[in-house]
Amino acid sequence: MKKMKSPHVKFVIDQKLDIENHLIGMHSYKEKLHSGHKKRSERYEKLLKLSVKERRNFIKKEISDFYSPKNKSKLEEIKKDSQKYWDKIEKEFFKRIKDVFGNPFPCNLIKGVFSTAGRFGYSIKKNNEWFAVNIDSNKFVVAGTAMHELFHFVFHFYFWKECEKYKLNWKQIWNIKEATTVLLNSNFLDLRLGPDNGYPEHKKIRNFMLKEWEKNKDFKKILDKTCKFVIKQQ
């Protein structure tokens, strides 16, 4: 039997993926998936009025100076600093992922993309898995964002279809997926600079899940109860 490789996050500077992350933010705004800032919302409204090509060109022009040659060495230093810290905690983080969810992390290599967007999306496409982190954050905050986004990969791979069995709609499952990161505040706090705060609209589900986790650390049972809880909230 072939031994599975240990999962690894490789932080990268990638302007094209940064642009993709800006567009993910725009689509999240359009679908009303997260609450947002007024200034950012106004920008998304502007982007939505443009064609696909115009959007990319607009974003590329916005961030072009940031990716100019004069900044190359600075960006590399930011990347190396975060990578060095992440490498210290990575093995322990993925071990705890398996302990909490009862399953190993589902990907071998995941890119952590430094982004100028101010919000953080991800891609679960096979062989092109990546998530975004804030280019302006220190290495500890970057690691905290990485943990939050990596939780989403676990949920998509193992638990999204489980939620579909309860006849929940796409938005309800999305909300449960987002709320699941509250478990970072139980088993992962020593690896983080601060708690995972999540979004205000998921507060009820987060509180419910954390309370159930403190009673019985069996995620599958908690997910069952959470799906039923969400149904009752309709």
Q: Mean pLDDT of all residues in the chain?
A: 93
pLDDT (mean) for 176-193 = 96
Q: 201 or 150: which carries more pLDDT confidence?
A: 150
Beta bridge partners of 132: 113
pLDDT for the residue 36: 64
pLDDT for the residue 35: 61
- Residues 39 and 141: beta-carbon distance below 8 Å: no
Tens-place pLDDT, residues 114-132: 999 988 999 999 999 999 9
Give the C-alpha separation, 129 to 110, whole Å. 5
Helix locations, the chain, DSSP H: 15-30, 38-48, 52-63, 72-101, 139-154, 160-164, 170-179, 184-187, 203-215, 219-232
Tens-place pLDDT, residues 19-31: 999 999 998 888 7
Examine the pLDDT at 3 and tell me if it is beyond 60.
Answer: no
- CA-wise closest residue to 21 among 148, 131, 178, 156: 131
Give the C-alpha separation, 233 to 11, whole Å. 39
Confidence bin at 163 (pLDDT 50/70/90): very high
Tens-place pLDDT, residues 30-65: 877 766 667 778 888 889 999 999 999 999 999 999
Parallel/antiparallel/unpaired status of strands 122-123 and 130-134? antiparallel
The domain ranges of the chain are 8-232
pLDDT (mean) for 165-171 = 95
Examine the pLDDT at 93 and tell me if it is beyond 50.
Answer: yes
Give the C-alpha separation, 101 to 155, whole Å. 9
Q: For residue 53, which phi and psi values (nearest 5 degrees)?
A: -65, -40
